């Protein structure tokens, strides 16, 4: 097991919420960690293998950001190193993933034949590329999420950022846990309630097949 946390909100507390949330999910076990957030319209990605302190040592907790995703990884595809740590960015999409994709080999082959190149050994990077591929065809994030939901086999809780939509956090859940937390002008996703306790006690548990588009309000 491992963890996901995500933030969208006007208060700019993103980096602190992600860091605190990941600490509160440490009990689930992990071998590496990472975060991505939008900073001055650009995506910043910070990853590190091993203990969360290694990652936190690289993060400026006072940095203001309104949208971000964080992850602790328990490797299933590829060793525990910085390259394989999440988030995985392909084209316009950054993705954190808990779970295992069973048909990643065949999808990867198809995407490679369309020109996609992969940097990591993970099944998760295949999800980012598949989203980017569908989005390049339909220019609609929710439709692209629906399309990957119909294509992927296995287990996945996903936190997703699309660089064309910098005020919105997207999430999907199948066979891995994910909740949405509702705050005041800021909202969250997380693998489990402790990650967001102290921020809000209002939350919705996603069901298999659910996906969500979450803004600050």
Which positions lie near ligand GLU, rule CB under 6 A? Answer: 2, 73-77, 84, 97-100, 122-124
Q: How far is residue 143 from each of residues 20, 62, 139, 149, 172, measured CA to CA in Å?
A: 32, 35, 8, 10, 12
Q: Least distance from C-beta 139 to ligand GLU, angstroms?
A: 28
- Give the H or E element holding residue 9: strand 3-9
Q: Which is nearer to ligand GLU, 154 or 194 (CB)?
A: 154
Chain-centre distance for alpha carbon 60 = 20
Q: Least distance from C-beta 33 to ligand GLU, angstroms?
A: 10
User: β-strands 3-9, 179-182: how paired?
Assistant: unpaired
Tell me the two tokens of residue 186. 């800021």
Which residue has 């659910």 as its token pair? Answer: 210
Q: Least distance from C-beta 4 to ligand GLU, angstroms?
A: 9
Q: Which is nearer to ligand GLU, 47 or 199 (CB)?
A: 47
**Preceding amide of 87 cis, omega within 30:** yes
Q: Which is nearer to ligand GLU, 9 or 87 (CB)?
A: 87
Q: Which is nearer to ligand GLU, 83 or 110 (CB)?
A: 83
Q: Which is nearer to ligand GLU, 22 or 183 (CB)?
A: 22
Q: Least distance from C-beta 3 to ligand GLU, angstroms?
A: 8
Q: Least distance from C-beta 140 to ligand GLU, angstroms?
A: 26
- Where does 77-202 show beta strands of DSSP type E? 88-90, 93-98, 156-162, 169-174, 179-182, 186-190
């Amino acid at each position: 097991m491992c963890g996901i946390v995500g933030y969208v909100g006007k208060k700019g507390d993103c980096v602190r919420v992600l860091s605190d949330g990941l600490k509160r999910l440490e009990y689930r076990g992990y071998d590496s960690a990472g975060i991505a957030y939008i900073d001055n319209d650009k995506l910043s990605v910070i990853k590190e293998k091993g203990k969360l302190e290694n990652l936190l040592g690289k993060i400026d907790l006072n940095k203001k950001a309104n949208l971000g995703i964080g992850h602790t990884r328990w490797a299933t595809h590829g060793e525990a190193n910085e390259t394989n740590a999440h988030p995985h960015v392909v084209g316009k999409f950054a993705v954190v993933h808990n779970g295992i994709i069973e048909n990643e080999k065949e999808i990867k082959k198809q995407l490679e034949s369309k020109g996609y190149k992969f940097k990591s050994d993970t099944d998760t990077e295949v999800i980012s590329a598949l989203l980017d591929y569908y989005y390049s065809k339909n220019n609609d994030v929710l439709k692209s999420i629906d399309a990957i939901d119909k294509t992927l086999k296995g287990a996945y809780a996903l936190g997703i950022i699309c660089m064309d939509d910098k005020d919105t956090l997207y999430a999907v859940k199948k066979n891995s846990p994910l909740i949405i937390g509702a705050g005041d002008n800021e909202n969250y996703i997380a693998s489990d309630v402790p990650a967001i306790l102290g921020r809000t006690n209002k939350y919705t548990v996603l069901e298999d097949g659910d996906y969500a588009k979450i803004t600050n309000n």
